[in-house]
Each structure stands twice: as C-alpha cells, then as structure tokens.
Chain A
Amino acid sequence: MSATATIASRVAPRFSWRQPSVIPGFGLTFGFAITYLSLIVLIPICALVLRTMELSWQEYWAIASSDRVVAALQLSFGAALIGATINLVFGLIVAWVLVRYEFPGKRVIDAIVDLPFALPTAVAGIALTAIFDKNGWIGRFLEPLGIQVAYTWLGVVVALTFIGLPFVVRTLQPVIVELDREIEEAAATLGAGRWHAIVKVIMPSLLPALLTGFVLALARGVGEYGSVVFIAGNIPYRTEIAPLLIVIRLTEFDYAGAMAIATVMLAISFAMFLIINLIQAWARRRFGYV
C-alpha cells in the first residue's frame, strides 16, 4: 500500500479539481480524450459559429428570414413534428405489445425495430421512394384515392417517420418493463376498469419517457437529410427541407447563406437537447427514473 499512497500524495496536490486515485493513466486518457474531442468536434463547430458571427445582424436576419429559408425550416420542423407524433402513437403500441404480450416472432420483431438506426439513410430513401411512387407497392393503391406521397410533403413525413421510429419504442420499453404491476393491481382492487387504470395510472408514469422519445425523434427528423432528399421531390418553397437548402447554398458557393441556415438549425437542436435534459431531470425527481 505504500506505493499507492505515494502515488496518491504525488498526484493529489497537482490536480486539486479531481479526487486522488491510485489508478494510473488519468493524464494520458483525459488528455487524449479532450484533444480528440476538441479537434474533431469542438473546434470545427466553434469555427462555424465564429465565421457566421462575421456577418452583420442585418445580413444574418435577411438570410434567416428569407421566404425560401423560412419555408424550408417550416417543412423540416412541421414534417418532423408530424412524424414524431405518428411515432408517439404507434411507438407506444409497439413498445407495449413487445413488453407485455407473448406472440410468435416477437424476438425478431423486437430486433427489427432498430432497422432505421442500422440501414443507411440513402438506402432507406430510395427504398421508400420506390414503395410510395405511383407505381410502387403501396403508392399504386394510394394513387386511385388521389393521395400522392412520393415527391410531396407527405413523402417527407413518411421518411421522417421511418427515421424516428426506434426512438419512442426504445425509450419506452425499459420503462414499461419497470412498471410496478402492484400499482395496477391496486387500481383494479379499488374498482378501476382496465381503461381507467391505463389512463390514470399507467400513462402518467410513461409520460416522461414518451416525451423524451418524442423530442429525440423530432430532433433527429429536423436535421435528417439522406432519407428525405430522394422522396421529397425537392421543389423550392414546397418540398425543400432545411438541410437540403444548406447543401444547395454550398454548391452555389454562398457560404454565408449556408452558415446562417446551419446556425439557426444548431440553435434549434440545442434547444431540443436542453428540453430533453429538462424532461429527464424532472422525471428523475418525480418518478425516480431516467
């Protein structure tokens, strides 16, 4: 123990901002992690923000509030909102069914829920386009009904629903597993019908997880590019998403335009990131889980 004691006493005064430890390697691993994080993530993001700050406020506002940018942001945000809402409803049903019921093929179905995480977005994009094209497997049945999905805003919603699908299911599943069945039993003995118990007893404890999954799906949808550009049709003012507009500005060598839109989107994602953390902090206080 004398060796460890000397290490501890040697290290402790130098790093007063951390507790002494006998395990070696803090300087090496912490130093490497911070350097790598700075080089790959922090410095490039700061560069974007600094470069954008070279624009005057009027210039910035003129770009950010131009009709085409506003239309693109509205589409990205609106379609992501609808997609996340669809996932909220169906994700709850899928998660409930996967945790509470037994049926053949359950494990395979549970595994396939993660497909949108594993399937490259470009592959998802061309596959969804092929399906919802007016000659496609599903599109041909929608065509006579006058519903066109591919190359309209509905296509954007479909792509963003696909992309956001795992978030609600995967945040809900562990929470449903942990639900205390005794509380449901108590509700039943007190005369609550099943529906009443679900609405008044189960739903409130699922609420934080539902909200977290919803915002995660929303955040992913707002920034999504690959799966959307194939199915959207990309008509300016109508089916052009915000990330695509950044790409278009870049190909036009309009760096100021690209950076202005990008920083607006960064601000939106940080806001949602903050919201998720607030929900989780609230859930920890209120329900004791993340």
Chain B
Amino acid sequence: MSDHAIAAPLNWRAPTNEARPVKAVLIAVAMLFLGVFLLIPLLVVFVEALSAGLPAFLNGLSDPDTVSAIWLTLLVAAISVPANLVFGIAAAWAIAKYEFRGKTMLITLIDLPFSVSPVIAGLIYVVLFGSHGYLGPWLKAHDIQIIFAFPAIVLATTFVTFPFVARELIPLMQEQGTQDEEAAVSLGASGLQVFLRVTLPNVKWALMYGVLLCNARAMGEFGAVSVVSGKVRGQTNTMPLQIEILYNDYQWVAAFAVASLLALLALLTLIVKSALEWRYGHELSNGHR
C-alpha cells in the first residue's frame, strides 16, 4: 500500500473521498453551526454570570432563596434518581433475562415519557392530585398537600427522567444474554448473589451512564416542575425555577450565576459521559461505542 501512495501524485485523492476544498468547507460549515448554536450559548452563561465581577457573582448565589432552591434541587434529585435506578434495574432484569408475551409493548411504554411534553408531564399530576382532580377532595379532607408542594415536584421529575436508566440497561443486558446467570444459578447462587456478582459487574458502566444522564435531567427539569411547583420563593422553587424568577426580576447577574452552576453540571456530565464512552465504550449498549 505504501509504495502505491508514493507513486500517486501529490494532489491525488481516492475516488471515495471528497476533494480537499470540499472537506475544508464542510468542516468549516459544521464548526460554524456548532459554534453559533452550542459554544456561544455555553460561553455567554459564564460571561454574563461574571460580568459584574466575582463579588456580584457570589452575592447572587448567596441569596437565601437561591440557597434553598439549590438544596431543593439536590433533594429532589436524591429521591428521583435512585427511584428510577431501582426501576431501571428491575425492568431490565425482567425484560432481558426472561421471554414473555408483550415485551415489546412494555419497552415502548417505558420510553413513553420521552415523547410527552414536559408541561403535560406536570399537568397529569395536577389532574390527579389537584384541587379539581380525581384525588383532590380526598387529599384535602386528609390535609395532604401534593400539588404545589414537594411531593409533586418529585413526581414530575421522576416522570421526565423515567426511561434514562432502563433504556441504557435493557439493550445491553439483552445483548449479554442469560448464560452467565444460568451458570451461576446452576452452581447454587441465590437471585441476589447472581445479580450482585454476575450481572452487576457486567453492566456497571452502563448503569453509571444512565444515572449520569438521569441526574442531569432531574436537576435541570423546568417545564414539568414549573407546572406543579406553585413557585413559592424559598420553598418550592428548584434551581431552574429560581433562574426564571431572577431573570424576570431583571436580576441578570444572579440569574446567570445560578445558570452557570447548572451549566457547570452539564459540562461535568458531558465530560464524564465522554470519558465513559472512550474508556468503557465496549461495555455500554450499542450506539455509544
């Protein structure tokens, strides 16, 4: 092959390649498009957050309402993400390790929350638990507040992040088959032992991948949470809702300061995600390799 290349004239190109100027133009167009739509928005968040100097930035973050929004966001994610993690494992186990009728239907239903608008994700809980909803009168009689309170924020967040872990695990575990588990069972392992010693080590990076994306969405969800939260300052405002309030109050620096924290989280998510893809791509489900 190498003497072939030497014999070819300098401006020779393989007929299955584009000409060099075409390549350059295509790369330039791609970079320009990604620059305008991805890089500049990311950059502007940090520039605006620090536009009035570091003290103003820190001042914007130390507002008590903002601090409570940060805590609420962490707390909501700390409930929603583990809940969807347990579901993801259970669903993937049931779907990948057994053959039963209606499996395709079940997989489709698990993906359903991705095709529902976030606003509708909030609305369905208002219909169920709101004062005009099915369970509204009963909840009121028992003095239980779900809508415009913490439980509804957790529910809405859980809904929008529902498929993340399951959809990472299902294809991978289906691909891996059942032979390892069957061998472990035949050697006398219990169900829990099979999962912890055989299955989990095979899917741990995919699990982490799903949790990572699930968490990013959980902490950043805006539409669904804004419908059910009631937006009580210092009480039912998550970070994205706090950004909206600060922004509408013309507190630009504070709004972008909170936004920069979430942008940092997004960057961190992308870095860890890419690291997982590069390092353990062969242990993730198809499409991430």
Interface of A is mostly: helix
Shortest beta-carbon distance, A115 to chain B, in Å?
5
- The yes or no answer to B273 lying at the interface (CB within 8 A) is yes
Residue B138 is within 8 A (CB to CB) of chain A in the complex: no
Evaluate contact between B243 and A115: CB separation under 8 angstroms: no
Q: Which residues of A contact B128 (CB under 8 A)?
A: 43-44, 47
Q: A32-B90, A262-B123 are in contact. Are A119 and B37 (CB under 8 A)?
A: no
1/0 per residue A1-32: CB within 8 Å of B? 10110000000000101110111111011101
B182 sits at the interface (CB 8 A): yes
| Cross-chain pairs A/B with CB under 8 angstroms, 10 sampled | A26-B94, A29-B91, A93-B26, A97-B26, A111-B273, A118-B220, A224-B223, A225-B226, A250-B227, A269-B117
Q: CA separation between A27 and B40, bound complex, in Å?
A: 51
Q: Which stretch of B3-11, B59-67, B184-192, B200-208 is in the interface? A: B184-192
Q: Quick check: A4 and B240 within 8 Å, CB to CB?
A: no
With a cutoff of 8 Å between Cβ atoms, the chain A residues found around residue B239 in the complex are: 120
**In the complex, residue of chain B having the shortest beta-carbon distance to the beta carbon of A266:** B120
Measured between beta carbons, the chain A residues less than 8 angstroms from B45 are 123, 126-127
Contact with A along B82-121 (1 / 0, CB 8 A): 0100110111011001111110001001101101111110
Beta-carbon contact of B259 and A246 below 8 Å: no
**Shortest CB distance A7–B (Å):** 8
- Residue in chain A with minimal CB distance to B23: A101
Contact B16 A185 (CB under 8 A): yes
Establish whether residues B41 and A131, one from each chain, have CB atoms under 8 Å apart when the complex forms: yes
Range, interface on chain B: 35 or more
In Å, the complex CA distance between A223 and B227 comes to 14
Alpha-carbon distance between A91 and B125 when the two chains are bound, in angstroms = 36
* In the complex, residue of chain A having the shortest beta-carbon distance to the beta carbon of B289: A174
Task: Check: A103 CB closer than 8 A to any chain B CB.
Answer: yes
Q: Chain B contacts of A120 at CB under 8 A?
A: 219-222, 239-240, 259, 262, 266
Q: Confirm or deny: A284 has a beta carbon within 8 angstroms of a beta carbon on chain B.
A: no
User: Is B81 engaged at the interface, CB distance under 8 Å to the other chain?
Assistant: no
Interface residues of A (CB under 8 A from B): 1, 3-4, 15, 17-19, 21-26, 28-30, 32-34, 36-37, 40-45, 47-48, 51, 90, 93-94, 96-98, 101, 103, 107, 109-124, 126-128, 130-131, 136-138, 158, 161-162, 165, 170, 174, 181, 184-185, 188-189, 194, 197, 219, 222-226, 230, 243-244, 246-247, 250, 253, 255, 258-259, 262, 265-266, 269-270, 272-273
B39 contacts the other chain (CB 8 A):
yes
- The residue in A23, A185, A243 that gathers the most chain B C-beta atoms within 10 A of its C-beta is A23
Q: How far is the CB of A290 from chain B (nearest CB, A)?
A: 9
**In the complex the two chains form, what is the Cα distance from A98 to B26 in whole Å?**
10
Query: Is B57 an interface residue when CB atoms closer than 8 A count as contact?
Result: no
Tell me if B44 counts as interface (CB < 8 A to partner A): yes
Whether B283 sits at the interface, judged by CB under 8 Å, is no
User: Which residues of chain B have C-beta atoms less than 8 A from A243's C-beta?
Assistant: 117-120, 223
How far does the Cβ of A194 sit from chain B's closest Cβ, in whole Å?
A: 6
Which residues of A have CB within 8 Å of B86?
Answer: 32
- Residues of chain B within 8 A of A119, CB atoms compared: 41-42, 220, 262-263, 266
B255 / chain A contacts, CB cutoff of 8 Å: 126
In whole angstroms, what is the CA distance A224 to B117 when docked?
Answer: 6
Q: How far is the CA of A45 from the CA of B128 in the complex (A)?
A: 9
Closest A residue to B224 using CB positions: A225
Q: Which residues of A contact B26 (CB under 8 A)?
A: 93, 96-97, 101
Chain B residues near A25: list those with CB within 8 A.
93, 97, 191, 195
Give Cα A97–Cα B23 distance, bound, in whole angstroms.
Answer: 8
